[in-house]
Amino acid sequence: MKHIPRKRFGQHFLSDQGIIDGIVQEIAPQPGDPMVEIGPGLAALTQPLVERLGRLTVIELDRDLAARLRSHGQLDVIESDVLKVDVTALAQTFRERLNQPTLRLRVVGNLPYNISTPILFHLLEHVGAIQDQHFMLQKEVIDRMVASPATGDYGRLSVMLQWRYAMENVLFVPPESFDPPPRVDSAVVRMVPREAPAPVNVALLEELVQVAFSQRRKLLRHTLGRWLEERQFPGTFDTQRRAEEVPVDEYVALAQQA
């Protein structure tokens, strides 16, 4: 039976074989890799991946699709909202099963565009269990993820993710590559956790960056400057700049001192 895409799940199914091949090439799956796919849908990407891996774990919220995926002999299906999946515990299950105590997961997926940012922040909480991530997302979101300071796309997402990952926009995906076609361009991003990120209180960094970009057209003295005064910040920080002019490492350094 043909599956009807569900709007509430933000379903757009990848159908362009050339794009699928390109994504698989960027992921470069190897036999036995501990890989997890988020939102496998109709298995357009799942099938070429599992053919190279031998076995693949998938996380699918749609119960009809999950039932269909369970009939595949090489898939381990987790029927759940990915935001409710304990990725660290999942990695530990892989370690015990494969007897590899230092194993980290490779995570891939065509993320639902309506909740892509919450998924990215959920995975950030489990980054210690992850080897790398390859995601298809709305191109506009990836532009913000990889943006450099002093550009219009640079913002909270750029700072929070670049602190913890090295990221690269690796592939453009046009709307006609999907069924049904979304109204936006898409792209594929590679995210590799940094081996030695600057140690920082993540909640504090997130709050600091949120305040900084709350009025991005104003100088920081109107937002972050007042926040630092309220905290009786003992150091010095140039607030005669706009939020987008401050590099990631300066935000991190400020959070370490605040």
Alpha helices in 81-223 (DSSP H): 87-98, 116-124, 139-145, 156-162, 202-212
* Residue 14 labeled ligand binder: yes
Nearest Cα neighbor of 190 from 23, 21, 12, 11 is 23
Nearest Cα neighbor of 58 from 76, 81, 83 is 76
* Residue 33 labeled ligand binder: no
Nearest Cα neighbor of 252 from 177, 162, 180 is 162
Q: Are 178 and 13 in contact (CB under 8 A)?
A: yes
Q: How far apart are CA 105 and CA 133, in angstroms?
A: 9
Residue 144 makes CB contacts below 8 A (sequence gap 6+) with 153, 154, 155, 157, 158
Residue 179 makes CB contacts below 8 A (sequence gap 6+) with 5, 12, 13, 15
* Residue 76 labeled ligand binder: no
* Residue 81 labeled ligand binder: yes
Nearest Cα neighbor of 37 from 89, 111, 103, 102 is 111
* Residue 254 labeled ligand binder: no
* 217: helix, strand or coil: coil
Residue 140 makes CB contacts below 8 A (sequence gap 6+) with 184, 185
- Dihedrals φ, ψ of 185, to 5°? -75, 155
Q: How far apart are CA 130 and CA 110, in angstroms?
A: 17
* Residue 12 labeled ligand binder: yes
Annotated binding residues for S-adenosyl-L-methionine: 12, 14, 39, 60, 81, 110
Annotated binding residues: 12, 14, 39, 60, 81, 110
